[in-house]
Structure 1
Amino acid sequence: MHEPICDLVPAALRRSWAADGSYPDLDLYALFRARRCADPHRTAVIDPQGAMSYAQLDRQARCLAVGLAATGVRPGDVVGVQVPGGRHAVIADLALAALGAIALPFPVGRGRCEAASLLGRSGAAAVIAVTEHRGNHHAEDLLALSAELPTLRTVIASGAGHAPTGCVSFEELLTSDDAAFTPARPDPDSVARILVSSGSEAEPKMVAYSHNALAGGRGNFMASLLADGQPPRNLFLVPLASAFGSSGTAVTLARHGGTLVLLDRFDADAALDAIGRHRPTHLFAVPTMVRMLLEHLDRMPADTSSLTAMVLGGAPLDPGTAAEARRAFGCAVVNLYGSADGVNCHTGCGEEPRPNGGPGIAVGHPDPRVADIRIADLDAPRGDIVAAPPGVAGEIVARGPMTPLSYVGSPELDARYRAPGGWVRTGDLGMLDDDGTLRLVGRLKDIVIRGGANISPGEVEQHLLTHPQVREAVCVGVPDRLMGERLGACVVSKQGQELTLKELCRHLDERTLERRKHPEALLLLQELPLTPAGKPDRAALRAELARAGARHVGAEEVVG
């Protein structure tokens, strides 16, 4: 029996956000249904299969809800969703919301071990998985794991091809009769979705969000980017199953009545074609994708005049590339500082970026209708939040309408990252300027951000240390113009034996570590440099890797 998901934000505070209008105070399906009734013929989704209106999408979602209920899905059940970006992901989001169930989306390409961990720790009752996508057979893989997951009752196969024996067909569920369907009306402050964040832990973190926190808090973030108040047309190049992608169904459709433009995977040429053909107003991506788009734009000119903003998360975009993107695409470039853990701040859609005349990276003015942000004194006791002195860097903490309820199945994470009163500790270092601008100074948690995806060096180090010829291993981030950072491995071998990067990556493959987490540079050492405290000197190792010019190998580039 899994522990119920609790809300660590005081209920009175949640109610105050509903009273002042920061929350719509309706469940996600009710919000979407109101949009559908107001404008049934408006285009809701454009994907590689074509366009769907709000009315068509609603009908499919209701049919799926009936079919899911027939398989045993009940209000409050957690249902995993591992499908590529497209209409099936959106239909699943809405159907689960209509049932009062809890969606647990995670991107395609995640390994079997990671998927099993997510489904097992969340107590998922069912999972919707793609039959085949780019060589992955997720439905079949998860069906094989179901014997190890006592709560998992049903595997539903989505997409082209026959459903594997033992799986329920997603397409057949869509033929259910929805005539008598009555949607649930869950409490808007109850759990609607679990966001998955790779974070700095060895296992992915799972963070529970309510209907209000998604449509209200995250919806207010998007509202600040809509200058004319018109429904947006949002092209998501990031997976809808990511934390960044949670602004898809719940925010773009349910809250703002807009249109989602989706690709089933990121491809620079396809993205430029989608901009020209479908005329999006906003593009959501990570910096690596923008660098790739700029490289392709020279040989594939595209009409980008519809764009009003490129919204970039995962990592800051360097000023030079941001300026180039503004010139090339003719729109604002918005750097977003945010995470699944409940923090959000962005640079806005102003025509000119604010001069970066202080330490760190200026990431905009916090919006209390999204997340109030404060700087906590690092020298204060770990319990209550104590403000750092003016002009002094401290830990960034956040609390506001988008604050999640709690971590799922991880009380140790709640103890580490949540503080009394509902505050969330980010593990990031920052400071506030006199005019209220938030500056990101550094990270307390040592993660590497490659193409917008977080990699835990500690996780990779533990795998490397299982190699029979590895004595010591430390992984650090190496700056890279395209990916932002790449992971470098600093290794001391046993008896001075020669090791190659390909050999180490082959070992990581055997241990089923995802390719996106493999190191792409290798530095062989006789011994590790140490700090005065006796710990590996990561700063010195980064500098040594840069000096050595350790070359990259042909590791698979994963950007979403």
Structure 2
Amino acid sequence: MSELSYAHGTGGTALLGDTIGANLERAVAAWPEREALVDVPSGRRWTYAQFGAAVDELAYALLASGVAKGDRVGVWAVNCPEWVLVQYATARVGAVMVNINPAYRTHEVEYVLNQAGISLLFASLSHKTSDYRTMVEEVRHRCPELKETVYIGDPGWDALIRRGTPDLRGELQAREAELSCDDPINIQYTSGTTGFPKGATLSHHNILNNGYFVGESIAYSEQDRVCIPVPFYHCFGMVMGNLAATSHGACMVIPAPSFDPAATLRAVQQERCTSLYGVPTMFIAELNLPDFAEYDLSTLRTGIMAGSPCPVEVMKRVVAEMHMEEVSICYGMTETSPVSLQTRRDDDLEHRTGTVGRVLPHLEVKVVDPVDGVTRPRGTAGELCTRGYSVMLGYWNEPEKTAEAVDAGRWMHTGDLAVMREDGYVEIVGRIKDMIIRGGENIYPREIEEFLYAHPKIADVQVVGVPHERYGEEVLACVIPRDPADPLTLDELRAFCEGRLAHYKVPSRLRILETFPMTVSGKVRKIELRETYAE
């Protein structure tokens, strides 16, 4: 009888029982003189001793402003040092930090302010076309619980800091003594494809341990310097980036307020970073810079690629040309803090591109039949579920939606279709909702995308299903060409697939695009491609 698609992560390292504040204090005591945070755009730097003092200073200010344990404090800002200070200071006083996507417009931010009951908001002044002050003014009168907004880079920030004084140290220590590692500490709104987003509520225990074990998997130490071009408002930035760094005494390096491929590589070179993060589209943008070869990236050792599957050709170049021999692939979701599966430092190229790794220590994963919930045999597709310390406390004030996602056995249902191999490594073959059903055949877009990446005229590709009268759905390939002056034709595409892909998987439609619609966290919005080209 075939082994079942179930795996439990064992490991010699125990879970941390700390709060985030206590863990940071331990790092400050261990590595006071090592750099903790560098903001490349402004040139500002903090050692661990200075960073700990700056976090305390903001924590005193929050106490002086009347922020109570459990109060919700919002952060609506691009990547900057103040974002990181708010992350750790709110944890120290036991407030719940609410991450707000910088791309949100007024109706979305109004929804989050009210749904979470945010009383204090930290916001950027502006970024690109967003004027945050104007948007806050527009919705403020409809958000009765919002008492104060503090703008980063405005005199209001300094005025807030001046409210706090060191004589509040005793009060801060008393507050910290009341905190449990299981307290809610963070609400992250996950982008729903329909309706308003849901607020995944995470504890100290959830995110501190997840950051710590992600860092352990790639052997972080106080010698590491981590370049973080991914957004802080997302788990990728604030957990896998910030918390992985501070729990190991490593340095957080901010290359730019939002992703800029040239600024990212400049930061790696200037700050001698050992680790670089990104979603595959970010690495593709960096590799495609005209002057890519001129950057000195020789200090890089590792990094994390996550958010969507990594094409084989991209991974080969990241390892060979960016010196990231120990680069790791992570899989997860906001509701699981986020990472549940990760490749290891010494995994071969095939495991790093064909799978999303194996289960992390202290977690469980299984692959089940999406209809009846029975665990599938290894090697067969089903829905991936995960259980353990990382599973969220629930969706903020939405018990019904929580019950739909987390079952009675405390398994989080991911909505992803996966196959667990005999060796325990897991392949993601698609979203349950992305699967194309053509004339009764199940088609996984990921498989076709991987195949098409090898075409010399294709720089990037996304495959989606669009309606078809006879077959129900047909396969559409959306392609960004390597050379816009010499785009691919449908005939060339079909000839490339002929005899190498099953006939029903060969795209019957082709769209040549300049860019893909993206979320701010760098994921392609397949739903938008489907809707745009459904006709």
Structure 1: state its 5+ residue gaps: 1-16, 163-168, 449-478, 491-527
| In 1: Cα distance, 2:232 partner to 2:144 partner | 28
Identify the residue that residue 346 of structure 2 maps to in structure 1.
350
Whether 2:158 is the aligned partner of 1:171: answer: yes
Alignment CA distance shift 1:349-1:249 (3 Å): closer
| In 2: Cα distance, 1:190 partner to 1:483 partner | 43
Aligned-pair CA distance for 1:341 = 2.0
In structure 2, what residue type is equivalent to 1:550? R
For the aligned residues, what is the CA RMSD? 3.0
Aligned 8 A contact 1:287 1:483 in 2:
no
After superposition, residues 407-426 of structure 1 pair within 5 angstroms as 407-426=395-414
Whether 2:23 is the aligned partner of 1:37: answer: no
Aligned 8 A contact 2:463 2:477 in 1:
no
Aligned 8 A contact 1:189 1:211 in 2:
yes
| In 1: Cα distance, 2:82 partner to 2:191 partner | 24
Aligned-pair CA distance for 1:556 = 8.1
| Equivalent residue for 2:186, pick from 167, 180, 193 | 193
Q: What is the CA deviation profile of residues 277-299 of structure 1, one whole-angstrom value per residue up to 9, with x for unaligned ones?
A: 11111111111110011011645
| Equivalent residue for 1:552, pick from 513, 519, 522 | 513
Alignment CA distance shift 1:42-1:335 (3 Å): same
Whether 2:112 is the aligned partner of 1:151: answer: no
Aligned 8 A contact 1:128 1:139 in 2:
no
Whether 2:295 is the aligned partner of 1:302: answer: yes
Aligned-pair CA distance for 1:39 = 2.4
Aligned 8 A contact 2:261 2:286 in 1:
yes
| In 2: Cα distance, 1:368 partner to 1:413 partner | 28
| In 2: Cα distance, 1:20 partner to 1:103 partner | 32
Aligned 8 A contact 1:28 1:250 in 2:
no
Aligned-pair CA distance for 1:51 = 1.1
Alignment CA distance shift 1:483-1:79 (3 Å): farther
In structure 1, what residue type is equivalent to 2:161? L
Q: What is the CA deviation profile of residues 165-205 of structure 1, one whole-angstrom value per residue up to 9, with x for unaligned ones?
A: xxxx1222123343122322210011111123214343222
Whether 2:257 is the aligned partner of 1:264: answer: yes
Aligned-pair CA distance for 1:224 = 0.8
Identify the residue that residue 520 of structure 1 maps to in structure 2.
none
| Equivalent residue for 1:94, pick from 88, 94, 98 | 88
| Equivalent residue for 2:136, pick from 111, 131, 142 | 142
| In 2: Cα distance, 1:351 partner to 1:122 partner | 41
Identity score, percent = 24
Alignment CA distance shift 1:223-1:355 (3 Å): closer
Aligned 8 A contact 2:79 2:232 in 1:
yes
Aligned 8 A contact 1:209 1:405 in 2:
yes
Alignment CA distance shift 1:405-1:397 (3 Å): same
Aligned-pair CA distance for 1:130 = 0.8
TM-score, normalising length from structure 1? Answer: 0.74
| In 2: Cα distance, 1:25 partner to 1:231 partner | 24
After superposition, residues 71-470 of structure 1 pair within 5 angstroms as 71-159=65-153, 161=154, 169-181=156-168, 182-183=171-172, 184-185=175-176, 186-226=179-219, 229-247=221-239, 251-262=243-254, 263-296=256-289, 298-299=291-292, 301-332=294-325, 333-342=327-336, 343-350=339-346, 352-354=348-350, 361-369=354-362, 371-380=363-372, 385-446=373-434
| In 1: Cα distance, 2:145 partner to 2:407 partner | 31
Greater mean alpha carbon deviation, residues 108-117 or residues 73-82: 108-117
Alignment CA distance shift 1:122-1:87 (3 Å): same
| In 1: Cα distance, 2:190 partner to 2:108 partner | 12
Alignment CA distance shift 1:257-1:132 (3 Å): same
Aligned 8 A contact 2:73 2:121 in 1:
yes
TM-score, normalising length from structure 2? Answer: 0.78
| In 2: Cα distance, 1:226 partner to 1:45 partner | 19
| In 2: Cα distance, 1:486 partner to 1:258 partner | 39
Aligned 8 A contact 2:355 2:428 in 1:
yes
Aligned-pair CA distance for 1:120 = 1.5
Aligned-pair CA distance for 1:487 = 8.6
Whether 2:15 is the aligned partner of 1:54: answer: no
SS at match of 1:307: coil
SS at match of 1:341: helix
| In 1: Cα distance, 2:209 partner to 2:123 partner | 29
Alignment CA distance shift 1:556-1:427 (3 Å): closer
Structure 2: state its 5+ residue gaps: 1-8, 437-451, 479-489, 494-506, 522-535
Alignment CA distance shift 1:559-1:97 (3 Å): closer
Aligned 8 A contact 1:41 1:55 in 2:
yes
In structure 1, what residue type is equivalent to 2:18? L
SS at match of 2:294: coil
Aligned-pair CA distance for 1:129 = 0.5
Q: What is the CA deviation profile of residues 425-471 of structure 1, one whole-angstrom value per residue up to 9, with x for unaligned ones?
A: 001111211111112122113499xxxxxxxxxxxxxxxxxxxxxxx
In structure 1, what residue type is equivalent to 2:357? G
Aligned-pair CA distance for 1:243 = 2.0
| In 1: Cα distance, 2:74 partner to 2:110 partner | 10
SS at match of 2:289: helix
SS at match of 1:107: coil
Aligned-pair CA distance for 1:335 = 2.1
| In 2: Cα distance, 1:256 partner to 1:137 partner | 37
Name the count of aligned residue pairs: 455
In structure 2, what residue type is equivalent to 1:313? A
Alignment CA distance shift 1:148-1:365 (3 Å): same
Greater mean alpha carbon deviation, residues 81-90 or residues 103-112: 103-112
